[in-house]
Amino acid sequence: MPEVLKREYAFISYSHKDEAVAHNVRNDLEAAGIATWMDDQLEPGTHIWEQAIRDAMNSSLAVVVIASPHAKEGPYVRGELHLAASRQLEVLPLWVEGDTWIECVPLSLSDTQYIDVRDSHYATGLQQLVKKLHAIIEDRSPRYCLLPKEAIKEYHSIVDLYPLVSEDWKQEIIEDLRQDYVYIELKDGEIAAMRYTAYPSVRALLDDLYLQYVEKCYHVDPFTYGDQWILGVHTDQFSRCIQLLVPWHWLSLSKHRSLADEQFDWSDFPPQRWFAPPHLRFLQVLDRLPPLAVGLVTNTLYIEQKLITGKNGYDFNRRVAEMISQGHATVSRFHYILTLVESPEHIHPEDYQHYFITALPHLEKSNEHVPPGSVTRVAGIIQGRPTERIHHSIKR
């Protein structure tokens, strides 16, 4: 698999007598945004176990060794160190227990610089380890690149399957895909991979995307995001609805005004927050703005998931569009009460954990003609039945 698609791990090598400590380290690294690999779900001694070790090492960015008196005695630690040396991977010893360093590691690590996390040193040492691993990721990973042709088919197989599986399976579906990147479809089927974790703001990411790809492929003017081009996500194969990457403020603008007209400052938007939901990492450049956009807010993740994926999401969004064009205020089929309001700026999305903006195809039955280049925008809160313990509603 091409390197940019490979999910790279911090391989944790440990004696099974130190398994509890290794789990704590893994949990803290994962919380810091660093993917890890441990053999705790494999049965030692089998051929499958050995091959899994080799495969994991091939996808690792470094090896973190849990150093203790047990590690010195462990044959598996020594074998994994030999394997790491053959792969030319950096080894980062983490000293978790013991009084003398040389008595806590195989002789091959006796002169290696270690990170002391014993007792009260744990928090400081862990910060040092995280910083070192992030530096290795930065050095090994391009900020942006085009996916090789041989990777595009594999990418599409992941994206096409992702919306169709349960939440429990989603992580497994994208397990081998680098999750610190967003993947943006361009014209002619090319896909730009951009490591969003390397950018301080959405503005910096959009600047690189424009200069490297959008300007050349679409021939649009600079500073025209939200006017001549915009990023969106096709929620799944059942729906023509497209989730747009725009701030809530966009809904308050006149239908003939864009973010480019407002000179909106994207510097305040950290990409780590914008691209946290996995489905928002599979984007495409849209060089035609949709005629209709609906902003929805809710304080329940379950409702958001139902709205943006699957057949129910398509039906729901279609009915919202019908409601706008025909003036209906309820959608009884889904047992949700929807109330259109006049001023989206009066809704405070910070009071809700989940909100998004979706574009809908223009309806032929709509009473309002939408001129080319303008966007009718509606916003709302979703409110469910009290018996479902869901509290929501919709606005404009």
pLDDT, tens digit, 9 for 90 and up, residues 285-304: 988 877 778 777 776 666 66
Structure tokens, 377: 């925008």
pLDDT of residue 317: 61
Residues of the chain with pLDDT > 90, as a percent, come to: 29
DSSP 8-state secondary structure symbol assigned to residue 223: T
Question: Average pLDDT, stretch 315-326?
Answer: 61
- Say if residue 47 is exposed, middle or buried (CB neighbours under 10 Å; 0-12, 13-18, 19+): exposed
Give the count of beta carbons closer than 10 Å to the beta carbon of residue 43. 9
Q: For tokens 């949990």, name the residue.
A: 27
Sequence-distant (6+) residues with CB within 8 A of 122 are none
User: Are 123 and 25 contacting, i.e. CB atoms less than 8 angstroms apart?
Assistant: no
pLDDT of residue 240: 61
Give strand pairing partners of 242.
234, 359
Q: What is the pTM of this model?
A: 0.73
Where exactly are the structural domains of the chain? Answer: 3-140, 144-388
Question: In whole angstroms, what is the distance from residue 212 CA to residue 207 CA?
Answer: 8
CA dihedral 309, 314, 316, 318 (to 10 degrees): 150
pLDDT (tens digit per residue) in 237-257: 555 667 888 888 888 888 888
pLDDT of residue 250: 83
DSSP 8-state secondary structure symbol assigned to residue 164: G
Of residues 125, 169, 116, 115, the one with CA closest to residue 28: 125
Output 225 or 315, whichever has higher pLDDT: 225
Question: In whole angstroms, what is the distance from residue 347 CA to residue 25 CA?
Answer: 42
Structure tokens, 359: 């574009």
Per DSSP, the three-state class of 183 is strand
pLDDT of residue 74: 74
Output 5 or 286, whichever has higher pLDDT: 286
pLDDT (tens digit per residue) in 67-109: 999 988 778 899 999 999 999 999 999 999 999 999 988 888 8
| Matching CATH number, 3-140, of 3.30.390.50, 3.30.70.260, 3.40.50.10140, 1.10.10.10 | 3.40.50.10140
Residue 165 has pLDDT above 50, yes or no: yes
Residue 164 has pLDDT above 80, yes or no: no
pLDDT (tens digit per residue) in 331-365: 444 445 555 555 666 666 666 666 778 776 544 44
pLDDT of residue 392: 38
pLDDT (tens digit per residue) in 101-153: 999 888 888 888 999 999 999 999 999 999 999 999 888 888 999 998 888 88
Per DSSP, the three-state class of 321 is helix
pLDDT of residue 236: 59
Of residues 153, 165, 119, 133, the one with CA closest to residue 9: 133
pLDDT (tens digit per residue) in 179-234: 889 999 998 889 999 999 889 999 999 999 999 999 999 989 988 898 889 998 86
